[in-house]
Amino acid sequence: MSLVATRFAPSPTGPLHIGGIRTALFNWLFSKNNKGKFYLRIEDTDKERSKDKYKDQIIESLKWIGIDHDDKEFIQSENINNHKEIAEKLLKNGFAYKCYCSEDEIKEQKENAKKKGIPFVYNRKWRNPEGLEVPKDIKPVTRFKSKISGDNSIEDLVQGKINISNSTLEDFIIQRKDLTPTYQLSAVVDDHEMNITHVIRGDDHKINTFKQKQIYEALNWKLPYFAHIPLIHSESGSKLSKRDNASTIDDYIKMGIMSDALRNYLLRLGWSYKDKEIFTLNESIELFNLKGVGKSPSKLDITRILSLNEHYIKNIDEEKLLKLLKTYSSNFKKEIDDNKNKQIIKSIKFLKNKAKTLEDIYQNAQYILKDDIEISSEYLKLLDDSSKAILKDFTLDFEKIIQINKENLEIIIKKLIEKNKTNFKGVGQPLRIALTGSKFGPGIYDIILSLDKNEVLKRLKKIN
């Protein structure tokens, strides 16, 4: 058994959002840093909302960002018999009891509490069933016999010591009326069976910890370490939810964000190491620790993601960038034909300098990717007679060039500028429009040099 084991335990009730990805990342990083294990557990005990397609999507998302789990993923519902057995054991040993309250009764208690402005805590009616008659028409739930008095505390690896008064904890349900176990029970049983040593999760689970701790104690099981990391907030300032826009991994992939960039962004969101901003995967494994995790929630900042992405686009190996671009294009745009590879590699040096996303590269490479350049009427208007004359002159000179390079092109263009008493723009803009169909894009020399000579001539002649 290894010293450290962590797990990521999402419920497959929707696509993973990046808060979840970050939790997974921190767990993964922590276990890698400690040369331990990292497991994935699919918490699918809510049968109505759990979907296989989400399970697959979650696994895909993790894989995309570079997180791999040890062993096969653990499916919580497959362990349901064990959960039930433990519930029985708790019942038998007096740590839990059957509660025959009807749903209406509970509802009434809740409304009363609301009216009085006091917090709702189930009134523990069936904790002591003496003198109560068991109703025949009600299937009972199983409740855990929570401590009523005293204080309780946990030593959290991120939050420090957290105290709570036991009186605020209710006798929570561990088994539904259909006898299926609830989260509080299943999570504890599975964490125990999987020998999880460190539970790293969002701090929305903080209160659960006190409930779960009591289950551990009742069973005489060793309590794992807990680390509750602060949540990621949306721009609006509240907990990131599945309903927020652009918060799933797929949304970022679609935007043309690369996994390294997102990984780096998520790493630095809530965690820091001195002044360091850029971390390779290996660096992040070596340097990650729980001490560096802050306590306050952080806001999602898309410009930061973009700027990190820009950094990675500029620094990644060009062959790899081409591969990513092609994957991106075939997934979300138009497939890039292999016969364009050589040309793109040649151009990627300057294309990547003006891109924040893969989509930007794709857009700026349109003049290469499209065999037929279309010029919108708006731009066509810019090509007046004098511009056309310049293009014609350029064509004549260009045809004569034997060795096409920047120096030779400069000579021609300089000559044209002088002859027409204009500036570089006077020559550059018509050329750009003729060759790319756009006013924006890479430098003129870059464009010409990256196109085949015949292709340049073809495009120029089409204008005149």
Q: Is 437 in the site for RNA (CB under 7 A)?
A: no
Of 375, 380, 379, 391, give the one whose Cα is nearest residue 456: 391
- Quote the CA–CA distance of 65 and 49 in Å, as a whole number: 25
Q: Is 120 in the site for RNA (CB under 7 A)?
A: yes
**For residues 405 and 411, is the Cβ–Cβ distance under 8 A?**
no
Q: Is 141 in the site for RNA (CB under 7 A)?
A: yes
Q: Is 112 in the site for RNA (CB under 7 A)?
A: no
- Quote the CA–CA distance of 157 and 293 in Å, as a whole number: 9
For RNA, give the closer residue by CB, 35 or 439: 439
Q: Is 298 in the site for RNA (CB under 7 A)?
A: yes
For RNA, give the closer residue by CB, 198 or 244: 244
| Site residues (CB under 7 A) for RNA, limited to 256-295 | 268-272, 274-275, 277, 292, 294-295
Q: How many helices (H) and strands (E) does the chain have?
A: 20, 12
Query: What mask, x for binding RNA by CB under 7 A, covers residues 322 to 351?
Result: ------------------------------
- Quote the CA–CA distance of 326 and 336 in Å, as a whole number: 6
Q: Is 177 in the site for RNA (CB under 7 A)?
A: yes
**For residues 104 and 135, is the Cβ–Cβ distance under 8 A?**
no
In this structure, which amino acid lies at residue 79? N
What are the strands of the beta sheet with 74-75, ordered from one edge?
Answer: 5-8, 37-42, 74-75
**For residues 61 and 253, is the Cβ–Cβ distance under 8 A?**
no
Least gap, CB of 347 to RNA (angstroms): 13
Torsion of CA 325, 326, 332, 333, to 10 degrees: 100
Q: Is 297 in the site for RNA (CB under 7 A)?
A: yes
Query: Which ranges constitute the DSSP H helices of 180-289?
Result: 183-193, 206-219, 249-255, 259-268, 281-287
Quickly list DSSP for 75-118: EGGGGHHHHHHHHHHHHHTTSEEEE---HHHHHHHHHHHHHHT-
Least gap, CB of 425 to RNA (angstroms): 5
Stretch of 43-51, 325-333, 375-383, 384-392 lying at the interface with RNA (CB under 7 A): 43-51
Binder of RNA out of 94, 119, 131, 150 (CB under 7 A): 119
For RNA, give the closer residue by CB, 208 or 341: 208
Least gap, CB of 376 to RNA (angstroms): 15
Query: What mask, x for binding RNA by CB under 7 A, covers residues 46 to 75?
Result: x--x--------------------------
Binder of RNA out of 2, 112, 165, 405 (CB under 7 A): 165
Stretch of 84-92, 375-383, 397-405, 435-443 lying at the interface with RNA (CB under 7 A): 435-443
The helix (H) or strand (E) run that includes residue 225 is strand 225-229
Q: Is 440 in the site for RNA (CB under 7 A)?
A: yes
For RNA, give the closer residue by CB, 107 or 370: 107
- Quote the CA–CA distance of 237 and 298 in Å, as a whole number: 9
For RNA, give the closer residue by CB, 93 or 165: 165
Q: Is 107 in the site for RNA (CB under 7 A)?
A: no
Q: Is 206 in the site for RNA (CB under 7 A)?
A: yes
Q: Is 376 in the site for RNA (CB under 7 A)?
A: no
Binder of RNA out of 424, 452, 453, 464 (CB under 7 A): 424
